[in-house]
Amino acid sequence: MTTEPKEESKLKRLEPFAEREIMRCMRCGFCRPLCPTWGFSEWDTGSPRGRMMLVRGMLQGDLEPSEYIADRLYLCTTCGYCEWRCPAGTKTVDIIEAARADLADLGLGRKSHHYIEERIREENNPLGEAKEERTSWASKELPQKGDLMYFVGCMASYREQGTAKATLNLIETVNPEGGYSVIGDELCCGSVLLRTGHREVAKALAEKNAELIKKSGAKIITTSCAGCYRTIRKDYELLGIDLNGVEILHFPELLNRWIDEGKLKPKNGEKIVVTYHDPCHLGRHMKVYDEPREVLKKLGVEVREIPLRNRETSACCGAGGGVRAEYKDSALEAATERLKQAEETGAKILVTPCPFCTFNLREAAAKNNIDMKVYDLVELVAKICT
Amino acid sequence: MKYNPVTPKIISELENIVGLKNVITRPEELYVYSRDSTIFEHSPDVVVIPKTAEQVSEILKLANREKIPVVPRGAGTSASGSPIPIMGGIVLDMSRNDKILEIDSHNLTVEVESGVVCDLLNEELAKHGFFFPPDPASSPACTIAGMVANNSAGNMAMKYGTTRDHVLWLEVVLPTGEIIQTGSTTIKSVSQFDLTRLMVGSEGQLGVITKVGLKLTPLPEHHATAFFIFKTVEDAAKAAVRVRSTMTTIPCMLEFLNETTTRAAFDYAGLEYPVGYTIILDFDGAKDTAEADLEAGFKLCEKENPIYKEKAKDAAHRTQLLTARKAALPALARLRPTTCMEDCTVQITKLPQAAKAIEEIPARLGAEDFMDLGNFGHIGDGNMHPTFCFDERIEEQRDVFFKGMDILYEDIILPLGGSVTGEHGIGLIRAKYIDREHGDASVKIMRGIKKLFDPNMILNPGKGKGG
């Protein structure tokens, strides 16, 4: 066994993990039972421990990068449960993303992710929708300058437009005089590209979005999407993007602030019982657990926690990390499992502050006739307050 | 013993038994199945997922006929090299059979498939007011059949016993293919030589466990927990001895972390306290009783002058402490690239002497520059896990580690009348010490038992008590 990177290594992005990081995984397996993909995998490579072994094998020259390894590594939703659970502190998500970047360079990326990259190059969104239609959900012309910028994101712009409308509705309710912007030229934040190993294009998107943000004069950026939030708040800095100290808030964080300031109040006293799903990119990745719950509770909503699988131990909806694009059945299987966990609460409504989680969970509920209505948290708040 | 290779014809027969999708020979998968949590590795020729005892039986008949090694594997969390297929052959991944078949709250029993994860079983049992007390640190991942095969014990063994004490019956497939049920579904039965107890701790050498019947234990009403940090290892060990030999109540847990382990595990669990040698003391039962017992234990530990002492503030604080304790081994992986955990037991009165001698191993090896020594474990029953932290990729360090093992077992534990494994098993790494611990006659009997069950020596060969 050797740890010497091979000459002219094919694994440039993984190499920095070779000496120490990959060795942290001592195969204790703590990460395995609750990994969303382990639930429907046959072999150990369907678990984080197995994936770390594959990476170690490649770095040590014991395994050659292969289609099979790529398949196993791309099945991961990058939900981050394993990273949170790992007592040794293995940076599993960073390692998976670095491995994917190297595999993509070697021509072992997933086809659907290449299509996504192409669509983003052409239409600025991964869904292949026309860029001119990005704000078609809005019934009026949107302001392009203001202290507060609403970064809508691709899912809310095209697939979960209820989220975009509800967010705007709430922003207008609190800011009747204006002072906010929604940029029609907004581009994909780059999240899906970063998660799937297409880093160069992601960086270009980040740079362009940074220009738009600066041009809008925003002092605060808010987004209703957990993926956009993680990307703009965490990844842009890692990519060396300077946003001039602008404050970045997930929309429920802003809602919580507005409620505390008395700017937002419930309009009716209807008793609503919900259960709450933590989006991985908001919870484990960014440690935002309390604010969305606080918002609901302050508005009189009863929040029933999913037993033993909430906050840090929340199960992934299955869609993230490029999984829904490439392995839709797996994404829906994970979502179905999550909905079954949610059913244990007795609540008939599940809310989550992420349009991508909403989209995937809603489809799984419909497909499996699960009696659970799935809403973006923002939609519910708009219903209560406007 | 000479074994035959796994040919394409054998693969084809395996596929006929379990179906195409449950057989794999991809090098990437074989690589992953080549290891457990030790530094040893050897690739199998094929990995198979059998779904029923009948399938296991057919596989073993085939392997027995063709003289091919078979290694059963649970979650692969072993710290003894037990699931590593050192002779190649077939690995049976039993972890995908993970159904809890029946919780019988009237007869206080539960029936499970082999691959049920310990913590997930306890989550389910808690809904009915019960638990399965053996609580190894690997409980977030390890399987019940793996626990049975190793007679796992963990944090509460002092009070509740080891896995052996909770197994009523087993469904086992013998190496020759017969499917037997050991024991009885009744609480008491002496109508058979105790095959159940023979199977428990047999490290996959006598049969493949496919189903397990366990006793249920009611969840205690309350836990009262405290922890103490001592300046020296001897003070910590003396406190443990004082609690065990003075009190008439048996603690639920009496756990130990040495200074190195305390630093790593507290860091993981977000505990900010002075670093030293830690003792965690826990009593369970009715609330008043448990709290009174803790108070008594607290006063006894105070006599050894801890530098810090505190009762757990609430359930969350207790969970944090136990999380730190349970994560001790993987948390040590924060220190060096490799962690090799050992397993030894001594009588509790010999703990201070043993624990101090263990702390001195890196100095004896002249290895302080590149080796840390974690030590932690169930000090209340004399069971410790010295853990060598080094870099397995450097040959000199590997050699020093093996010398360290010899010092641990041959110079410290065996001269004190201890045992070379309390709960992890002999596996691959401790076989060389069992002659000295048990003597030739005992070892001969164990090998005879192995031969009786497994005439062709196909099951998990080359290790364990009978290998």
Please give, rounded to a whole number of angstroms, the shortest distance from the CA of A67 to a CA of chain B: 11
Q: What is the pLDDT of residue A39?
A: 86
Q: What is the pLDDT of residue A269?
A: 78
Task: Determine, for residues A44 and B268 on separate chains, whether the beta-carbon distance falls below 8 Å.
Answer: no
pLDDT band of B279, cuts 50, 70, 90: very high
Kindly state whether residue A161 falls inside one of the protein's structural domains: yes
Residue B173 bridge partners (DSSP): B179, B208
Please give, rounded to a whole number of angstroms, the shortest distance from the CA of A6 to a CA of chain B: 16
From the list B96, B114, B88, B101, the residue with the least C-alpha distance to B2 is B88
Cα B115 to Cα B72: distance, rounded to the nearest angstrom: 11
Residue at which a domain ends, from A73, A105, A137: A105
Please give, rounded to a whole number of angstroms, the shortest distance from the CA of B83 to a CA of chain A: 13
Structural domain boundaries enclosing A87: 15-105
What are B's interface residues with A at a Cβ cutoff of 8 A?
Answer: 21-22, 24, 26-29, 31-33, 35-37, 41, 47, 49, 75-77, 93, 96, 117, 119-120, 123, 138, 140-142, 265, 268, 327, 329-334, 337-339, 391, 393
Tell me the CATH number at A207.
Answer: 3.40.50
Among the partner-chain residues A43, A63, A88, the one whose CB lies closest to the CB of B24 is A43
Mode of pairing for the β-strands spanning B277-285 and B253-257: antiparallel
Is the CB of A86 inside 8 Å of chain B's CB atoms?
Answer: yes
Which residues from chain A sit within 8 angstroms of residue B96, using beta carbons?
42
Q: Identify whether residues A274 and A250 lie together within a single domain.
A: no
User: In Å, how far are B106, B297, B356, B377, B392 from B305, measured between CA atoms?
Assistant: 48, 14, 17, 21, 38
For residue range B172-222, list pLDDT tens digits in order: 999 999 999 999 999 999 999 999 999 999 999 999 999 999 999 999 999
For residue range B99-114, list pLDDT tens digits in order: 999 999 999 999 999 9
Contact between B71 and B33 under an 8 Å Cβ cutoff? The reply is no
- For A57, nearest residue in chain B (alpha carbons): B31
Task: Determine, for residues A33 and B49 on separate chains, whether the beta-carbon distance falls below 8 Å.
Answer: no
Q: Identify whether residues A245 and A272 lie together within a single domain.
A: no
Q: Identify whether residues A251 and A279 lie together within a single domain.
A: no
Among the partner-chain residues A27, A66, A68, the one whose CB lies closest to the CB of B76 is A27
pLDDT band of A7, cuts 50, 70, 90: low
The two tokens of residue B105 are 């709250």
Task: Determine, for residues A2 and B393 on separate chains, whether the beta-carbon distance falls below 8 Å.
Answer: yes
Kindly state whether residue A222 falls inside one of the protein's structural domains: yes
- For A67, nearest residue in chain B (alpha carbons): B28
Distance of alpha carbon B341 from its chain centroid, rounded? 11
Is the CB of A145 inside 8 Å of chain B's CB atoms?
Answer: no
Residue at which a domain ends, from A105, A129, A155: A105
Task: Determine, for residues A28 and B329 on separate chains, whether the beta-carbon distance falls below 8 Å.
Answer: yes
Task: Determine, for residues A43 and B47 on separate chains, whether the beta-carbon distance falls below 8 Å.
Answer: yes
Is the CB of A26 inside 8 Å of chain B's CB atoms?
Answer: yes
For residue range B39-58, list pLDDT tens digits in order: 999 999 999 999 999 999 99
Kindly state whether residue A8 falls inside one of the protein's structural domains: no
Among the partner-chain residues A23, A44, A88, the one whose CB lies closest to the CB of B32 is A44
For residue range B226-251, list pLDDT tens digits in order: 999 999 999 999 999 999 999 999 99
Per domain, the residue ranges of chain B are 8-93, 100-218, 222-329
* Amino acid occupying residue A313: T
* Amino acid occupying residue A371: D
- For B51, nearest residue in chain A (alpha carbons): A42
Domain covering B100-218, topology: 3.30.465
Task: Determine, for residues A29 and B75 on separate chains, whether the beta-carbon distance falls below 8 Å.
Answer: yes
Q: What is the pLDDT of residue B299?
A: 98
What is the average pLDDT score of chain A?
A: 95
Q: Identify whether residues A272 and A214 lie together within a single domain.
A: no
Task: Determine, for residues A88 and B141 on separate chains, whether the beta-carbon distance falls below 8 Å.
Answer: no
Among the partner-chain residues A1, A45, A62, the one whose CB lies closest to the CB of B393 is A1
* Amino acid occupying residue B339: T
Best of A26, A31, A73 to substitute, by most chain B Cβ atoms within 10 angstroms, is A26
Cα B164 to Cα B167: distance, rounded to the nearest angstrom: 6
Kindly state whether residue A10 falls inside one of the protein's structural domains: no
Report the pLDDT averaged over residues A30-57: 95
Cα B155 to Cα A299: distance, rounded to the nearest angstrom: 44
Tell me the CATH number at A316.
Answer: 3.40.50.1860
For residue range A59-83, list pLDDT tens digits in order: 999 999 999 999 999 999 999 999 9
Between positions 31 and 70 of A, the ones with CB within 8 A of B are 31-33, 42-45, 50, 53-54, 57, 62-63, 66, 68-69
Cα B84 to Cα B20: distance, rounded to the nearest angstrom: 24
For residue range B288-306, list pLDDT tens digits in order: 999 999 999 999 999 999 9
Cα B158 to Cα B251: distance, rounded to the nearest angstrom: 7
Q: Identify whether residues A45 and A152 lie together within a single domain.
A: no
- For A25, nearest residue in chain B (alpha carbons): B333
Which residues from chain B sit within 8 angstroms of residue A27, using beta carbons?
35-37, 76-77
Q: What is the pLDDT of residue A4?
A: 54
Task: Determine, for residues A87 and B120 on separate chains, whether the beta-carbon distance falls below 8 Å.
Answer: no
pLDDT above 80: residue B454: yes
Q: Which CATH class is domain B8-93?
A: alpha beta
From the list B71, B47, B31, B106, the residue with the least C-alpha distance to B428 is B71
Q: Identify whether residues A233 and A201 lie together within a single domain.
A: yes
Q: Identify whether residues A190 and A322 lie together within a single domain.
A: no
Sign of CA dihedral A92, A97, A103, A108: positive
Mode of pairing for the β-strands spanning B46-48 and B90-93: parallel
pLDDT above 70: residue A88: yes
Please give, rounded to a whole number of angstroms, the shortest distance from the CA of B354 to a CA of chain A: 27
Kindly state whether residue A6 falls inside one of the protein's structural domains: no
- Total of domains in chain A: 3
In what side-by-side order are the strands of the sheet with B372-374? Answer: B338-341, B387-390, B372-374
Q: Identify whether residues A81 and A152 lie together within a single domain.
A: no
Contact between B425 and B464 under an 8 Å Cβ cutoff? The reply is yes
Kindly state whether residue A4 falls inside one of the protein's structural domains: no
Which residues from chain B sit within 8 angstroms of residue A33, using beta carbons?
117, 119-120, 140-141
Best of A4, A35, A43, A103 to substitute, by most chain B Cβ atoms within 10 angstroms, is A43
Domain B222-329, second-level architecture:
2-Layer Sandwich (3.30)
pLDDT band of A104, cuts 50, 70, 90: very high
What is the average pLDDT score of chain B?
A: 96
Q: Identify whether residues A250 and A270 lie together within a single domain.
A: no
Q: Identify whether residues A115 and A90 lie together within a single domain.
A: no
Residue at which a domain ends, from A213, A235, A258: A258
Give the position of tokens 């993926």: A227
Q: Identify whether residues A280 and A320 lie together within a single domain.
A: yes
Task: Determine, for residues A20 and B337 on separate chains, whether the beta-carbon distance falls below 8 Å.
Answer: yes
Q: What is the pLDDT of residue A1?
A: 47
Kindly state whether residue A1 falls inside one of the protein's structural domains: no
Which residues from chain B sit within 8 angstroms of residue A2, using beta carbons?
393
For residue range B355-377, list pLDDT tens digits in order: 999 999 999 999 999 999 999 99
Structural element, H or E, at residue B224: strand B222-230
Cα B50 to Cα B53: distance, rounded to the nearest angstrom: 8
Best of A23, A27, A51, A66 to substitute, by most chain B Cβ atoms within 10 angstroms, is A27
Kindly state whether residue A291 falls inside one of the protein's structural domains: yes
Cα A213 to Cα A242: distance, rounded to the nearest angstrom: 11
Among the partner-chain residues B47, B138, B334, the one whose CB lies closest to the CB of A28 is B138
- For A83, nearest residue in chain B (alpha carbons): B268
Report the pLDDT averaged over residues B119-143: 97
Is the CB of A136 inside 8 Å of chain B's CB atoms?
Answer: no
Give the number of A-B residue pairs with CB atoms closer than 8 Å: 105
Tell me the CATH number at A48.
Answer: 1.10.1060.10
Task: Determine, for residues B32 and A89 on separate chains, whether the beta-carbon distance falls below 8 Å.
Answer: no
What DSSP line would sit under B69-80, residue for residue? -EEEESSS--SS
Residue B5, Cβ neighbours under 10 Å: how many? 10
Task: Determine, for residues B35 and A27 on separate chains, whether the beta-carbon distance falls below 8 Å.
Answer: yes
